[in-house]
Amino acid sequence: MEPNTTTIASGLQKVKARISEIADKAGRQPEAITLLAASKTNPVECLREAFVAGQTIFGENYLQEALGKIPALADLPIEWHFIGPIQSNKTKRIAENFAWVHSIDRKKIAGRLSKDRPESLPPLQVCVQVNVSGEDSKSGVAPDEAADLAAYIVELPRLKLRGVMAIPELTQATALQRSQFRMLKETYDRLKQAGYDLDTISMGMSEDLDIAIEEGATMVRIGTAIFGPRRYAIPEELAIRQGKPE
């Protein structure tokens, strides 16, 4: 499918304007909120268009898909973030190909990513994924287990703990969403109070961007509002939607 240049550039512009407006209203600095383009299912031409329009940080969920795109865009100084569920047999290629991982939810994965991170690269920047909705289907540690995982990660030589990430429940109930974002912010604050040097609260997607920023997001992960509706043609995405982790 051909990318629609005008649409991607204007989608990006609209998202940035929205971030600025919400931040202003919430009494926050717009520059304190980093925009990650969640690019899963979108072909490299679309990512290239977004890059030309000024976007340099991209997040991918599915390793196989990302491993096709990263070399195809190697001529661009893109910062790649892995934001999907992680199987332990995938850690090597994640550690070799990404600058950040948002979705660490167990010690085994953290340990493997550190071991697999090439010495030639800077430490892998990571977030602890927190399950703020309590749904069984969601990845992430319970909020009261985040400190234990954080303590483990900061001892690993090739990881740098940056903060926390969550995907709240998909619901029309904004009060519920707000309470889940607040839970992530509180988890972050507790870790900071415990002495961890953190700067990242990764939360907020196309549908809940406003509340996430009001509740303190420092990095928002936006797909649909930039690229338009997703293409579900790839088998990995179908597998994930049926509950099989990458």
Ligand X SMILES: *Cc1c(COP(=O)(O)O)cnc(C)c1O
Within its chain, how far is the Cα of 138 from the centroid?
A: 15
Compute the distance between CA of residue 77 and CA of residue 237 in angstroms, rounded to an integer. 26
Contact pattern for ligand X over residues 28 through 47, marking x by CB under 6 A: ----------x-x-------
Does the protein bind ligand X through residue 222 (CB under 6 A)? Answer: yes
The DSSP symbol for 122 reads: P
Q: Which residue is nearest to ligand X (CB)?
A: 223
**Least gap, CB of 204 to ligand X (angstroms):** 8
Does the protein bind ligand X through residue 207 (CB under 6 A)? Answer: yes
Does the protein bind ligand X through residue 205 (CB under 6 A)? Answer: yes
Token readout for 80 is 């790649």
**Least gap, CB of 229 to ligand X (angstroms):** 9
Segment near ligand X (CB under 6 A); pick from 66-74, 93-101, 115-123, 217-225? 217-225
Binding residue (CB under 6 A) for ligand X from 6, 56, 171, 224: 224
Does the protein bind ligand X through residue 7 (CB under 6 A)? Answer: no
Q: Which is nearer to ligand X, 13 or 192 (CB)?
A: 13
N- to C-terminal Cα separation, the chain: 25
The DSSP symbol for 170 reads: -
For residue 222, what are the β-bridge partners?
A: 37
Does the protein bind ligand X through residue 223 (CB under 6 A)? Answer: yes
Does the protein bind ligand X through residue 61 (CB under 6 A)? Answer: yes
**Which residues have CB under 8 Å from 1's CB, separation 6+?**
43, 231
Compute the distance between CA of residue 100 and CA of residue 119 in angstroms, rounded to an integer. 15
Amino acid at the residue 240: I
Does the protein bind ligand X through residue 112 (CB under 6 A)? Answer: no
Nearest in space to 82 (alpha carbons), one of 109, 107, 108:
109
Does the protein bind ligand X through residue 206 (CB under 6 A)? Answer: yes
Contact pattern for ligand X over residues 167 through 186, marking x by CB under 6 A: x-------------------
**Which residues have CB under 8 Å from 54's CB, separation 6+?**
12
Contact pattern for ligand X over residues 114 through 143, marking x by CB under 6 A: ------------------------------
Annotate 42-63 with b (16+ C-beta within 10 A) or e (fewer): bbbebbbbbbebebebbbbbbb
Contact pattern for ligand X over residues 81 through 110, marking x by CB under 6 A: --x---------------------------
Residues that bind ligand X (CB under 6 A): 38, 40, 61, 83, 167, 205-207, 221-225
